[in-house]
Structure formats: C-alpha cells, structure tokens
C-alpha cells in the first residue's frame, strides 16, 4: 500500500483520547508530512489488528480522501497535529453507511488474499495484494 500511496504508512494504537471518543480506526494525512497514519483500537489479536488496518486500506483503495472528521475534531483527538495542517481524516465509528461497508468488504478481501498468500510472502514471493487494486 505504501508503494501505491507513494508514502510511508505509520500504524499506531489509538490514543486514550481517541478511544474515549469511540474510535476503533482512523486514517489521517497531514500536510507537509511524507507519511500517513492509521490508528487502531488496541487488541491482543494479531488478526483483529490486521483487519483494522485492512479496513483503512479499503478506504485508501477507494481513494476516499475526504474529510469525514472536522479539523477541529481531529485536533481534539490528536492535539499535537496542527489543525491547519490536517488534509483529511477518515474514522471508523460505525458500520452502517455504504462507505464503511465498502471499506470493510475490501478489508475482508485483503484478509483472504493475505491468508492465501501468506506462505509465499514469507519467502519473499510477490503476493496477490495488487489484485484488489
């Protein structure tokens, strides 16, 4: 996904403030940074963590670079990010709208591909991740 986006993707656990606000996933881009961020709710399951990430990848694949959270709201959740530098932020707080359903379906497809390609990927073989794109 970093190759497709042309920048590094930093994955981090959601902050307590984000969790208090009810977020389980957040994709955010900040002007002037050469990376994008994905924050996810904490989980002890590696597969659940990956599914949070895959869901945000689904938004990226759909090219949903629109602001669903206001800059003011992101600044409350992530106060170290300058409000005027926030380019877009997509958060997952519910699963009922079409955009969330599409991102989740793509995330599920990525998970299936990763499961199928896992043994090959361990040996450096190019996997089918690009089939979703």
How far apart, in whole angstroms, are the C-alpha atoms of residue 121 and residue 32? 33
* First-to-final CA distance of the chain: 9
Angular region, 80: left φ>0, alpha ψ -120 to 50, beta rest: alpha
How far apart, in whole angstroms, are the C-alpha atoms of residue 28 and residue 12? 12
| 25-39 per-position pLDDT tens digit | 888 887 778 888 899
pTM over 0.75: no
Report whether pLDDT(49) > 80.
yes
Tell which wins on pLDDT, 83 or 100: 100
How far apart, in whole angstroms, are the C-alpha atoms of residue 114 and residue 130? 11
List the beta strands (DSSP E) in the chain.
8-13, 25-30, 35-40, 86-92
Place of tokens 């961020």: 37
Confidence band of 19 (pLDDT split at 50, 70, 90): confident
pLDDT for 76: 67
């Amino acid at each position: 996904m970093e190759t497709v986006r042309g920048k590094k993707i930093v994955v981090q656990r959601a902050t307590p403030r984000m969790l208090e606000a009810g977020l389980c996933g957040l994709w955010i881009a900040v002007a002037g940074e050469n990376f994008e961020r994905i924050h996810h709710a904490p989980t002890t399951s590696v597969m659940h963590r990956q599914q949070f990430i895959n869901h945000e990848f689904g938004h990226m694949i759909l090219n949903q670079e629109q602001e669903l959270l206001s800059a003011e709201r992101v600044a409350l959740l992530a106060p170290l990010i300058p409000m005027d530098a926030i380019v877009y932020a997509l958060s997952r707080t519910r699963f009922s709208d079409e955009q969330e359903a599409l991102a989740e379906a793509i995330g599920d497809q990525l998970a299936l591909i990763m499961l199928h390609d896992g043994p090959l990927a361990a040996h450096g073989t190019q996997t089918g991740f690009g089939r979703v794109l």
